[in-house]
Amino acid sequence: MVPFPTDGSGTVGTNGSHRRVSVATAVVRMGRTMLVGWGALLSVSVNLHGVHARPVVRNIRSTHEFDRLLEKHASETGLPVVVDFYSDSCGPCRMMAPIFRNVAAEFADRAVFVKVDTNAQPELSQRYQVRSLPTFQFFVDGKKAHQAVGGIGEQGLRQEANQIVRQAQLENVLLTLDALLEYYHTVDPEKPRSDVETVYQKCAKMNRKVEGCVGSSANALARKLKKKYQAAPQLVPRILPTDAPTSTPKPSRATPPVAASSNTGTPTTHTLESASLADLQSELERRLDQARDEQVEHEDPAEDEADPDFRPWPGSSHSAYPEAVLVIGGGPAGLAAALYAARAGLAPLVLAPSLGGQLQGKGVDVENYPGLPLVTGPAVVAAMRKQAAHFGAFFEDDVVFRVDASQRPLQIHTNATGIIAAHSIIVATGAESNWLGIPGEWEMRGGGVSSCATCDGFLYAQRDVVVVGGGDAAMEDALVLARTSRSVTVVHRRDKFRASKVLSDRVQNHPAITVRWNATVQEILGQAVVDANDEDDNSNDHDVDLDSIPKQVTGVVLVDTVTGEETKLSCHAVFVAIGHTPATAFLHGVVDFDPEHDGYLWTQPHSTQTSVPGIFAAGDVADSVYRQAITSAGSGAAAALDAERYLSEHGLGMEEELLEAELLAELVNDGGMSARESYNAYEDAGGRMQGMKESVAAEL
């Protein structure tokens, strides 16, 4: 066997030329192990210090890849990392996905955005104590700096991204000893060099993992000096992402050193047999990392883009005319209304937050919607949205907080878009989850307290959980949790469920579910849990504020409604499913409410028309009896029909079309031009048209 000599450049020399050696060539050729020069095995196919293209959002596929990414941006770019912990079964996660991509594209040169599937990477979820989905965590210098839980919306995510970018910029500063000496030479020439060095060392000691006076300690020192001397020392960027590649690349920790050539110029020869097992494993990891990086660079950045049916809304600034129909809400009622209005040619605008409604968060199969067996709630909502968009409906991710019905057209005030004018409004905002209002509930949302079992349930696999409620929603949550949790305890204040018999029987007969009858939850117990990843950072701190550390659920206090006896029940999570309240607070003082059912809108008999002409109600906002997805969809269709009739009777919603018709009529009549004198494409074709007609007639 004859090894290939190398010249120390990492390429194989053959007749004065250089070629790359692949991993497969380095290990196996023609079915037999072959000895290849060790320098060739260390060949680097990409410039490790160059600027690589990266996707807008990177999908993490292993713990090793995530750790390497944090280390890379902490040591090479200084960019913060924004992580979206999600699950495909989580409705709010699905709705936040396009928002996450939009914000990532906006901050592409200032931050790194990645996604972690908690089902595929449970180790990362446990390491960073993800207890609710979606969870957004923000890393600076390889350490978690902050997190946000739930559907925070586009504005919230953008605000969080701005804050973490600013923090990363503050951390990415360096105060050198030379700069500090020069500074003191200017402001305090008599200060001894030893004293200046002492000041510098104190600053450097504040950084446990990074040598030198950098980051927050450098900023703190600069502020103190500026306050004392009215001038600050010069701070420079600690890491420059656009640094030019060095002539001698610094090997990474995973790259074993290449033996140097001898003084005589004879290339040093290495073989696979002479390499240690650790070197081979290290090299294999490096090669796999390179392959993964190249794969990421070639991923299609548009793979998650919206369906072509979804056209962007041009915005109110692009049109001088009000919207004909504006639908508030994106559940079954709102989407059915949008579909019917779109098919009527009204091009409705749907305003709805990214989180979706009750059906969007239903991860179990929707068994009671005709024609859609074995389909989850998010799938039903997605199909409805696509169908409405296909017929011309527009969608805008926004929240309405006020409606002004004192003038016409109606004025709709939103959080992000501003004020939108519309001739008619269909209110289909659905209902919001009710909460217990007990101690510990608000403090531990995201720490074990949740109202979405399909979103957060699997995070408590093989753990004990509690479900509070006795309706269909509570039964569904209990059955979902029983698939993965070690035990599920349903707490109900009465001795009989008010849920359907089918669901009640399933719950009571399930071996993993226990029911506590005649009981209420008095308090949710919890304790502060320090993130294991921050223990090293805080090991020298003696003044840790335990009140600022998020708490995790450890149990509940139950009270027997018959005897009044209190008992404690240990658990890791509490899922609240005690019904919903219509999301109609923004309409107080605008329309009349149902006097017999708090929060529900009043509508005219046999109509969806509210007390204000042009405002219609559909779905759970006006239905205190049935509150089903299919009845909501039906009332949404009815609301669209009522709105279309209202617009036709009042001659509204067709201003642009009427103006175009008037302009066309003026052009036709301009200068007394008669219909005969106007342009006719058929006559312009001359005798050819007559010949074509005769030819077609002959063929027939």
Model confidence over 375-398: pLDDT tens digits? 877 788 889 999 999 999 999 988
Residue 397 CA to residue 418 CA, distance in Å, equals: 12
Tell me what pLDDT residue 637 has.
98
Q: Is the dihedral of CA 488, 491, 497, 498 positive or negative?
A: negative
* Average pLDDT over all residues of the chain: 80
Tell me what pLDDT residue 302 has.
47
Is residue 549 within 8 A of residue 522, CB to CB? The reply is no
Model confidence over 29-39: pLDDT tens digits? 333 333 333 33
Percent of the chain with pLDDT over 70: 75
Residues 69 and 146 in one domain: yes
**Number of independent structural domains in the chain:** 6
Residue 212 CA to residue 238 CA, distance in Å, equals: 10
Query: Tokens 């009845």 sit at which residue?
Result: 631
pTM over 0.75: no
Most confidently predicted of 237-251, 513-527, 670-684: 513-527
Is residue 636 within 8 A of residue 340, CB to CB? The reply is yes
The verdict on residue 439 lying in a domain is no
Asked if the peptide bond before residue 409 counts as cis, ω within 30 degrees of 0, the response is: yes
Widest Cα–Cα separation across the chain = 111
Name the least confident of 134-143, 246-255, 499-508: 246-255
Tell me what pLDDT residue 574 has.
97
Residue 594 annotated in active site: no
Q: Choose, from 293, 397, 456, 477, the residue flagged as catalytic.
A: 456
Asked if the peptide bond before residue 134 counts as cis, ω within 30 degrees of 0, the response is: yes
Residues 463 and 408 in one domain: no
**Which residues have CB under 8 Å from 135's CB, separation 6+?**
84, 85, 147, 148, 149, 446
Q: What are the helix (H) ranges across 344-471?
A: 377-390, 453-456
Residue 182 CA to residue 178 CA, distance in Å, equals: 6
Q: Choose, from 90, 203, 452, 571, the residue flagged as catalytic.
A: 452
Tell me what pLDDT residue 452 has.
84
Residues 573 and 454 in one domain: yes
Residues 182 and 122 in one domain: no
Residue 213 annotated in active site: no
The verdict on residue 367 lying in a domain is yes
Q: List the one residue out of 182, 195, 170, 183 whose CA is nearest residue 232.
A: 183
Name the least confident of 201-210, 367-376, 536-545: 536-545
Range list of β-strands (E), 585-638: 615-617
Angle made by CA atoms 489, 493, 499, in degrees to the nearest 5: 75
* Encoded tokens for 515: 């029911």
Percent of the chain with pLDDT over 90: 50
Residues 358 and 422 in one domain: yes
Residue 455 annotated in active site: yes
Residues 67 and 164 in one domain: yes
Model confidence over 390-442: pLDDT tens digits? 999 999 988 999 999 999 999 999 988 899 999 999 999 998 889 999 999 99
Residues 65 and 84 in one domain: yes
Q: List the one residue out of 307, 580, 557, 292 whose CA is nearest residue 431.
A: 580
Residues 31 and 104 in one domain: no
The secondary structure of residue 365, as a DSSP letter, is B
Q: What is the CATH number of the domain that holds 152?
A: 3.40.30.10
Residues 180 and 167 in one domain: no
Residues 164 and 261 in one domain: no
Model confidence over 281-333: pLDDT tens digits? 777 777 776 676 666 555 554 444 445 667 778 876 666 789 999 999 999 99
Q: Is the dihedral of CA 612, 613, 617, 622 positive or negative?
A: positive
Q: Is the dihedral of CA 660, 664, 667, 672 positive or negative?
A: negative
Range of the domain at 64: 57-172
The verdict on residue 292 lying in a domain is no
The secondary structure of residue 223, as a DSSP letter, is H
Q: What are the helix (H) ranges across 441-574?
A: 453-456, 472-482, 501-509
- Could you tell me how many helices (H) and strands (E) the chain has, helices first? 19, 29
Q: Choose, from 455, 477, 620, 642, the residue flagged as catalytic.
A: 455
- The residue among 692 and 628 whose pLDDT is bigger is 628
Angle made by CA atoms 25, 30, 36, in degrees to the nearest 5: 35
| Strand 213-214 with 323-328, pairing | unpaired
Residue 378 CA to residue 10 CA, distance in Å, equals: 52
Whether the per-residue pLDDT at 662 is higher than 60: the answer is yes
* Encoded tokens for 506: 């399933």
SS (H, E, C) 531-557: CHHHCCCCCCCCCCCHHHCCEEEEEEE
The secondary structure of residue 43, as a DSSP letter, is -
Residues 210 and 91 in one domain: no
Q: Residue 166's beta-bridge partner residues? A: none
Residues 151 and 195 in one domain: no
